[in-house]
Structure 1
């Protein structure tokens, strides 16, 4: 059987473009899945903190954070948020920056690694991003993260133990070290088969195209290996 395409995604759950990129990736792969020879794809998310200095309980909204904490002009922030809200809507996402509760995301990343151990990584990434960008839920505190974990069927007490013990903090740091090794400075960033890099929230058609291209390479490589195996010994 032809090997699946491996797509490794570096993202932050508090990155608006990362949620858009995730949805566009899913839409692009769904397009390619309708082909006569659909690509087999395995997607894995990896931790990246855009603002590790953010407090867990930031006093203010997204405008306050970007204008005050990051020093951006307010009119520039308002325009930027309006722009990303429109792009998110095109991807089928209803962003609510008026509800958003800015926070530190390291514990959310630890929860994703916990969920990965239990085969629920993609569900957890989706739940955290939806909670943050569309529901105004807090994703920085352990109690809130445990509630979200339970909502998708993860064991609440096991999740709490993992978060309070910092058991998966080394996994988060390992992802970040790998990002630095790849030279990743911004997210979302997609690494395909450890070889091709795709930066930013590309449109679905771009993801469909790269999936088809890499799948064709997989199929060609598999055919060459099969031909070589069938050649008679000299």
Structure 2
């Protein structure tokens, strides 16, 4: 059984959720059941600066203060930190609790990805534990690669520091963040088994019951999975993210009509009208009776200020499909 944890390592609930998942998996019901726990990236603070700032200084920023209040309605950031600290202590995390830095978790996510690539789930889990302990218990700056180098060494990932310096994992982590968004992940942590998801650091017994029910996720070819994720991002109003996932498909399957149509829609939605027009003209040229492609071409030409050129395409699309009238 594969269990995915979509989480941010600077999220206290992710660390608490890790402990609760471990408690759930310690249940005798899972004895002898092969379980692989894989960490996937999520960002709760995507605007955090590349260079870390002391947390007390960051909390003076009204935007940060407001964001924290949204996370815990009715509590001040200080009250919420006390609450989370008490819960962490109850889960055996400590003795001290409390981050000291507002740090970008991007490089930490790269380190986790690389740990899984080079050492599998067990090494990745060891790195995740040490990264979160460094951030929440030791008060270290995990936005600093020197901290991550030490963490990697402690976890037994000897090549981790050197790999980070090469930029390895950069594209993969950015894609995984988009895939998480496409799959509807919106909370850290979110535990996924098959096609089922459990949001939040739920109590161990809730997690145990969730895992026990299992889940099935139909295996699809990588190309089909990527296309579906790209379409989901477009549906979620992220055309630029959609195009990031589409790029390898455009390179490898540039003649595939489904790939081209989705790219045209993403170009149109992101106001890349020249690219949208070129792609749609190709599609209409190949299949003149495709009413949707012709309609979208007409709308693209309209947005380019070419009303006369747009008119025949819009008229033909309306004649073929009344919905475009």
Question: What runs of 5+ residues in structure 1 fail to find an aligned partner?
Answer: 218-234
Corresponding residue for 1:13?
A: 9
Question: Cα gap change, 1:186/1:213 in structure 2, threshold over 3 Å: closer, same or farther?
Answer: closer
Question: Cα gap change, 1:206/1:39 in structure 2, threshold over 3 Å: closer, same or farther?
Answer: farther
Corresponding residue for 2:138?
A: 135
Corresponding residue for 1:111?
A: 111
Q: Please report how far the alpha carbon of residue 129 of structure 1 lies from its aligned counterpart in structure 2 after TM superposition.
A: 0.5
Aligned pairs, number: 205
Q: Name the CA distance, whole Å, in 2 between partners of 1:176 and 1:36.
A: 30
Q: Please report how far the alpha carbon of residue 38 of structure 1 lies from its aligned counterpart in structure 2 after TM superposition.
A: 5.0
Task: State how 1:140-179 maps to structure 2 within 5 Å.
Answer: 140-155=143-158, 158-179=159-180
Q: Name the CA distance, whole Å, in 1 between partners of 2:107 and 2:16.
A: 22
Q: Name the CA distance, whole Å, in 2 between partners of 1:54 and 1:201.
A: 23
Question: Cα gap change, 1:101/1:209 in structure 2, threshold over 3 Å: closer, same or farther?
Answer: same
Q: Name the CA distance, whole Å, in 2 between partners of 1:112 and 1:185.
A: 20
Corresponding residue for 2:43?
A: 49
Q: Please report how far the alpha carbon of residue 60 of structure 1 lies from its aligned counterpart in structure 2 after TM superposition.
A: 2.4
Question: Cα gap change, 1:48/1:36 in structure 2, threshold over 3 Å: closer, same or farther?
Answer: closer
Q: Please report how far the alpha carbon of residue 187 of structure 1 lies from its aligned counterpart in structure 2 after TM superposition.
A: 1.1
Question: What runs of 5+ residues in structure 2 fail to find an aligned partner?
Answer: 70-74, 217-325
Larger helix percent = 2
Q: Does structure 2 conserve the Cα–Cα contact (< 8 Å) formed by 1:67 and 1:77?
A: no
Deviations 1:82-107 (A, max 9, x none): 1111111121112522x622211101
